[in-house]
Amino acid sequence: MKKILVVGAGGQIGSELVPHFQKIYGVENVVAADINCNSCTHLAENGPFEELDALNKDRYIEIVKKHKIDAIFNLVALLSAKGEKNPQFAWQINIGALMNSLEIAREYKCAIFTPSSIGAFGTSSPLDNTPQDTVMRPNTIYGICKVTGELLGDYYFHRYGVDARSVRFPGIISNVTLPGGGTTDYAVEIYYGAIQQKKFVCPIPAGTYLDMMYMPDALNACVQLMEADPSKLKHRNSFNITAMSFEPEQIANAIRKRMPDFTMTYDVDPVKKAIADSWPNYMNDSCAREEWNWKPKWNLETMTDDMLKIIGEKHAKGLLK
Ligand code: AKB
């Protein structure tokens, strides 16, 4: 990867992936693009930025040509819970952006990364130690888009030689940009609740295990997979990757160990509950470990130390809304 375009750069992953890439590949070699720069002024001020509606293929091509892009990260997506509010719109955005990205990658010979998700699995998948290759019949429009994306990525690779690679991300926990509309968002919001109010109302029932990962591991995964020797990849779209699996009481206990006055109650959201119940409790990520040396560094304890420290500092400086 020499010239990278991150589309949907203002979201939870993009807002940290862009600066991460800039450190590795150089500021001038990483172009951030989003529908407008309201959500990403920090990106627009610190490197090349382009306004792009990913459904506008002509404008997308113009940017790829202008910056001589050779790798596209398509991060445009409506997440799982939000997708259920308007499934037709979710399909239009998620698949529209994906198809434009794949077609442009084909025409302009770019490598392409589009994240898949634990949401690609469904109730008929084995939910414990979920294998890399197994039944995938998701129950959400988000998951249907993710499975479609995985199949299209492999199709473009086999049919046209497009260097398409992807991972199935678990819930990602971070402290720069809040996620929005996801089922795993609670595991981010709980830290903000702890720092700002010393309490949190959890929308997911106790006992619901989900795979999770701290953002620094997610960023490393993107670089490691895209830089991996292609001859070692038996899979491409998409690799299971995970760093930890926990249920709400475990993350609350990790916070309580450091903040004994923190309290958590439940107000279960039935849509999020149904989605979470259909997703793996924990995935088997041995293929990623074998094929491109995937190995997470963070666990629930080290992540909790870091999240509370960083969000606590922001709170002390009055930087939280
Ligand atoms: C969501 O909850 O929708 C996402 C995901 C796991 O893909 N964070």
Q: Which two tokens stand for residue 116?
A: 């898949």
CB contact set of 195 (below 8 Å; sequence gap of 6+): 308, 311, 312, 315, 320
Asked if 198 and 114 sit in the same domain, the reply is: no
Our count of domains for the chain comes to 2
**Per-residue pLDDT at 272:** 98
pLDDT band at 44 (very low <50, low <70, confident <90, very high): confident
Determine, yes or no, domain membership for 136: yes
What letters, b where the CB count within 10 A reaches 16 and e where it falls short, cover 279-304? bbbbbbbebbeebbebebebebeebb
Residue type, 294: W
Determine, yes or no, domain membership for 71: yes
CATH number, domain of 252, equals: 3.90.25
Asked if 162 and 268 sit in the same domain, the reply is: no
Asked if 140 and 275 sit in the same domain, the reply is: no
**Per-residue pLDDT at 41:** 79
Is 142 part of the annotated catalytic residue set?
yes
For 143-196, write each residue's pLDDT tens digit: 999 999 999 999 999 999 999 999 999 999 999 999 999 999 999 999 999 999
Judged against a pLDDT cut of 80, whether residue 279 lies above it is answered with yes
* Ligand 1 midpoint to CA 259 (Å): 27
Atom of ligand 1 nearest to the CA of 117: 7
Domain edge (last residue) among 192, 224, 240? 240
Determine, yes or no, domain membership for 269: yes
Q: Which residue, 185, 92, 87, 175, is CA-closest to 138?
A: 87
Asked whether 189 and 138 are in contact (CB, 8 A), the reply is: no
Quickly list DSSP for 149-174. Answer: HHHHHHHHHHHH---EE-EEE-EEE-
Atom of ligand 1 nearest to the CA of 279: 6
* Ligand 1 midpoint to CA 119 (Å): 7
Show the ligand 1 pocket: residues with CB < 6 angstroms.
79-80, 117-119, 142, 169, 171, 179, 182-184
Domain residue limits at 251: 171-212+245-280+298-316
* Ligand 1 midpoint to CA 68 (Å): 32
Asked if 162 and 185 sit in the same domain, the reply is: no
Asked whether 194 and 308 are in contact (CB, 8 A), the reply is: yes
Catalytic residue among 142, 156, 192, 214: 142
CA distance 288 to 228: 11
For 50-75, write each residue's pLDDT tens digit: 999 999 999 999 999 999 999 999 99
Asked whether 43 and 15 are in contact (CB, 8 A), the reply is: yes
Asked if 308 and 258 sit in the same domain, the reply is: yes
Asked if 191 and 305 sit in the same domain, the reply is: yes
CB contact set of 177 (below 8 Å; sequence gap of 6+): 10, 11, 12, 15, 16, 39
Taking residues 116-125, report their average pLDDT: 98
